[in-house]
Chains A and B, each alone.
Chain A
Amino acid sequence: AQSVSQHNHHVILSEAASLELGCNYSYGGTVNLFWYVQYPGQHLQLLLKYFSGDPLVKGIKGFEAEFIKSKFSFNLRKPSVQWSDTAEYFCAVTPHTGRRALTFGSGTRLQVQP
């Protein structure tokens, strides 16, 4: 079975700082990768996703993530965070075959200070 690790549990940044959130997964086969975001009091929503092709994917609100297959990683980045990026971020994975339900990491709480 696959698993996902998010090593940063709580990150505090000042506005305009750069962001990188780590995500590593364990699975031997081909995977689809996702980052979801949950703003305070709101639904979980998709930030970006990787299926195949260009390993650098761009999502909403200036976020991007890079899939590095050799490292089993899918780190989330943003060059300059805003106060409105304060949220909880979840990395998720699903294999191309077999059970297609998402496996989530434990989440990273991002707090951006004005």
Chain B
Amino acid sequence: DVKVTQSSRYLVKRTGEKVFLECVQDMDHENMFWYRQDPGLGLRLIYFSYDVKMKEKGDIPEGYSVSREKKERFSLILESASTNQTSMYLCASSPPYSSSYNEQFFGPGTRLTVL
């Protein structure tokens, strides 16, 4: 089974702090994604990566950055946390794109509260 793990289930930070959310997958997947999940808004894509050191902005990248130094690890960074970044953050991974597009596998999520 594919396993996607996230470093914390719950996190409480203060406004202005730099926050790191870590995600690790164990299936040698090329593609990794960060979403945030908010009630009534579904999941929105923040950033994704299709290879080591490669990244692309998603739909809501403002206030976030990412790092992918190793294939299995994809980090989301909040440079200066703000209260409107309080949310559930979900990481996902998927195999390389092909004519038969494969599903994304999700981690358990990190519920971040910014005070």
Contact = CB atoms under 8 A, between A and B. Distances in A.
A51 B35 CA distance: 23
Nearest to A103: B45
A90 B43 contact: yes
Contacts of B109: 43
Interface residues of B, number: 23
A106 B104 contact: no
Contacts, number: 48
B106 A44 contact: yes
Interface in A1-59: 4, 6, 9, 32, 34, 36, 42-46, 49, 51
A90 B31 CA distance: 21
For the complex of A and B, 8 pairs with smallest distance between CB atoms:
A44-B106, A104-B42, A104-B43, A106-B42, A46-B103, A32-B101, A107-B42, A101-B45
Interface of A: 4, 6, 9, 32, 34, 36, 42-46, 49, 51, 90, 92, 94, 96, 99-107
Interface of B: 31, 33, 35, 40-45, 48, 56, 58, 90, 92, 97, 100-101, 103-104, 106-109
